[in-house]
Amino acid sequence: MNVLIASRAGGNDLRAIPSVIPNHLGGHDALASGGRTFTKIDPATGRAICQVARSTATDVQVAVEMAKKAQPAWAATTVVKRGDILRQLALLMRDRRTAIAELVAQETGKSRKDALGETDAAIEMGFFVAGEGRRFYGQTTTSAVPNKAAMVVRQPLGVAGLIIAANTPIANVAWKAFPALLCGNAAIMKAAEDTPLSAWAFGVLAREAGVPDGVYTTLHGLGEEAGAPLVEHPDVAVISFTGSCEVGRWIAETAGRRLAKTCLELGGKNPLIVCDDADLQNAVTWTLGSAFSNAGQRCAAGSRIIVFDVVYNKFKQLLVDAVGKLKVGTSDTDDYGPVINQGQMDAMLAAVERARAAGAVVLTGGHRLSGDAYGGGYFVAPTIIEQVGPNDEISRSELFGPITCLYRVESFDEAITLANDSPFGLTASIHTQSLNRAMAFIGRIQSGVAVVNGGTYGSEPHMPFGGLRQSGNGWREAGTQTLDVYSDLKTVYINHDPGKV
Ligand code: NAD
């Protein structure tokens, strides 16, 4: 089986998907050591796309050994040079952006347009991080002792284990791989099992850009078989993980036993507050984007829409009308595509059923979309639910699908209290014309990102992203803050003697 990608963009390597997506190990394509594979399913059709290397602890062991061997020479190059190579990688990605976006579209079922937007964001991250090679700031300061210089510089950690989710696959790769490499680490990427294609493409281009053999590895496989051994390996100095709270908690416990550094970017249950003075049409537009774009598969999805009582009915009607016009499918004129796999779809629909059984009212959706247009794809109708309590399961657990709940509040205070009443604290948004309310919201909301008159999503490469409570463990990705994840500090004292000049 050799599936051809229709678009011909730039180089020659990304147009044909290999019948088995290989690992990228030590500069070579490699099957998993046991020769085993798993099947990658197209979420838009339910049909197989290709087989993928099913790596195990043996492959992780080989990857770590190669990474350990290659890392010192990589760390010994200047950070400016590393930035140059990463800029070259970003340029190659830009040359082949259409081909990469085709892979993203094929493996996720999202539209070419959305896949291209995500690819461009990944490329921007590359350029941003490459530029940091010429800024890699430490600190110089004073000493209490005469003729003693004091400064702080960054140093690499060694081998970085990177584990990602499938929702925005090429951006997820870029968010971790670029800064991990810039900081002088060797990096091992455990791709999400649902999105092996874009991770494979990044590895191909990294090699072409001149990232030395062994410095960047792509391993494919299932979480427990290929991800867990990376977390457990004693020579992996930092684990940077994007995914569910459940797995994040296990990673923190497991890596914590050997005191390894972990950066955990986890889930969200993000509130969007609609005040009585909001521009309701704008609030509807941003609610649609927050709740339904990317089929709601965003850690930053708006899944709790908190609306002032006096505008509740009007807002609800506008929102339901707007949802009635949403189009679900894989083309550029559709608003969103399928969810990533059958298991996720079944789980989110079961959660809606439990809420319904407990008395919730499902205003729209709540079911899988079927019929000729949808075939065997995992398409879920845009779902709005009301009459749920703040402590109900559906209010507190992340569904990671096109499903959102409406809540009615009497006042600003009640809205903030409800917004903060969550196990998560990733992003939050408020819609108001009042500067005073906006500023009070920014001050009181317990989240890593706060937005006024916009969506709960939409991060930029030069801005830090991350959350409180169960949304993470305090680190930030993107922004210059991401360099703190992948480097450690070295405090330097230099004693000198002016008498010996
Ligand atoms: P998941 O935790 O099931 O899987 C994520 C990754 O972890 C996959 O690569 C998987 O193979 C791997 N994995 C699974 N079990 C593992 C184990 N025992 N050891 C090591 N690795 C293991 O998450 P998912 O359902 O695929 O992704 C959705 C989640 O990701 C949501 O909770 C979402 O909010 C979160 N997410 C967070 C951010 C953020 O920046 N905060 C961004 C995107 C997605």
**pLDDT digits 0-9 by tens, 100-141:** 999 999 999 999 999 999 999 999 999 999 999 999 999 999
DSSP E strands: which ranges in 245-360? 261-265, 270-274, 302-308
Question: Ligand 1 atom closest to Cα of 344?
Answer: 25
pLDDT at 16: 81
Place of tokens 């990469």: 100
Tell me what the mean pLDDT of segment 202-206 comes to.
Answer: 97
Task: Please report the atom of ligand 1 found closest to the CA of residue 472.
Answer: 41
- Positive or negative torsion for Cα 43, 297, 174, 213: negative
| CB hemisphere CA count around 381 (13 angstroms) | 18
Q: Which residues contact 377 (CB under 8 A, 6 or more apart)?
A: 42, 43, 44, 45, 46, 109, 330, 338
CATH, domain 270-452, list 3.30.420.40, 2.60.40.420, 3.40.309.10, 3.40.50.300:
3.40.309.10
Whether pLDDT at 402 is above 60: yes
Q: Which two tokens stand for residue 283?
A: 């609030």
d(CA 305, CA 274): 7
Query: Which tokens go with 432?
Result: 């108001």
Beta bridge partners of 362: 385
Kindly report the number of other CB atoms within 10 A of residue 96's CB atom: 26
By three-state DSSP, how is residue 110 classified? coil
In angstroms, the CA 179 to CA 154 distance is 13
User: Residues of the chain with pLDDT > 70: what percent?
Assistant: 97
In the predicted model, is pLDDT for residue 175 greater than 50? yes
Question: How far apart (Å, rounded) are the C-alpha atoms in residues 1 and 48?
Answer: 11
Q: How far is CA 47 from the centre of its chain?
A: 25
CB-CB contact of 220 with 52 (8 Å): yes
Closest Cα to atom 16 of ligand 1 = 223
Q: How far is the CA of 119 from the centre of ligand 1 (A)?
A: 20
C-alpha to C-alpha distance for 97 and 20, rounded to whole angstroms: 23
264 alpha carbon – ligand 1 mean position (Å): 10
Query: Quick check: is 124 catalytic?
Result: no
pLDDT given for residue 9 in this prediction: 37
Q: Is the CB of 266 under 6 A from ligand 1?
A: yes
Query: Dihedrals φ, ψ of 448, to 5°?
Result: -80, -25
From 299, 398, 405, 477, active-site residue? 299
* Mean pLDDT, residues 17-37: 95
Ligand 1 atom 4: residue of nearest CA? 243
Q: Which residues contact 351 (CB under 8 A, 6 or more apart)?
A: 393, 394, 397, 399, 403
Whether 311 lines ligand 1, by a CB cut-off of 6 Å, is no
- E strand residue ranges, 109-260: 139-141, 148-156, 159-163, 186-190, 216-219, 238-242
Cβ 335 under 6 angstroms from ligand 1: no
pLDDT of residue 10: 40
Give the span between the Cα atoms of 164 and 177, in whole angstroms. 11
Taking the C-alpha atoms of residue 459 and residue 467, their distance in angstroms, rounded to an integer, is 13
**Two structure tokens written together for 301:** 């999805």
pLDDT the model gives residue 14? 86
Tens digit of pLDDT for each residue in 311-339?
A: 999 999 999 999 999 999 999 999 999 99
Residue located nearest, by CA, to atom 19 of ligand 1? 228
Q: Is 167 in the pocket of ligand 1 (CB under 6 A)?
A: yes
Tens digit of pLDDT for each residue in 285-314? Answer: 999 999 999 999 999 999 999 999 999 999
pLDDT of residue 169: 98
Of ligand 1's atoms, which has the minimum distance to the CA of residue 301? Answer: 34
Q: Is the pLDDT of residue 6 over 60?
A: no
302 Cβ inside 6 Å of ligand 1: no
Q: Quote the mean pLDDT of the chain.
A: 96
CA-nearest residue, atom 10 of ligand 1: 223
The pLDDT of residue 259 is 97
Global pTM reads: 0.96
Q: Which atom of ligand 1 is nearest to the CA of 230?
A: 20
- Cα torsion angle, 319, 325, 331, 337, sign: positive
Does domain 3-266+472-489 fall into CATH 3.40.605.10?
yes
Residue 118 has φ and ψ, to the nearest 5°, of -70, -40
CA 263 to centroid of ligand 1, rounded, Å: 13
Question: Is 98 within 8 Å of 113 (Cβ atoms)?
Answer: no
CB atoms within 10 A of CB 494: 10
What is the CA(442)–ligand 1 centre distance, in A?
A: 29
- Is residue 8's pLDDT more than 50? no
The C-alpha atoms of residue 283 and residue 330 are separated, in whole angstroms, by: 26
Q: Is the CB of 192 under 6 A from ligand 1?
A: yes
Whole-angstrom CA distances from 260 to 146, 159, 266 are: 38, 11, 18
Place of tokens 């979480």: 223
Site to substitute for ligand 1 among 54, 162, 163, 473, most atoms within 8 A of C-beta: 163
Over range 138-153, report the average pLDDT: 97
CA quadruple 381, 382, 388, 391: dihedral sign: positive
% of the chain residues with pLDDT over 90: 96
Q: Which amino acid residue places its CA nearest to atom 26 of ligand 1?
A: 165
Those residues whose C-beta lies under 8 Å from the C-beta of residue 317, and which sit 6 or more positions away, are none
Per-residue pLDDT averaged across 375-379, rounded? 97
299 is catalytic: yes
Which protein residue has the closest C-alpha to ligand 1 atom 15? 223
pLDDT at 17: 86
Q: Which residues contact 395 (CB under 8 A, 6 or more apart)?
A: 269, 304, 388, 389, 405, 407
H or E element, residue 384: strand 383-386
pLDDT band at 13 (very low <50, low <70, confident <90, very high): low
DSSP 121: H
Q: Is the model's pLDDT at 403 over the cut of 50?
A: yes
Query: Does the Cβ of 164 fall within 6 Å of ligand 1?
Result: yes
The residue whose CA has the least distance to atom 39 of ligand 1 is 265
Is the pLDDT at 7 greater than 80? The verdict is no
Instruction: Using most ligand atoms within 8 A of CB, pick from 193, 299, 403 the residue to mutate for ligand 1.
Output: 299
Catalytic choice (265, 398, 405, 477): 265
Domain boundaries, the chain: 3-266+472-489, 270-452
How far is 316 from 361, CA to CA, in rounded Å?
13
Round to whole Å and give the CA distance between 157 and 151.
19
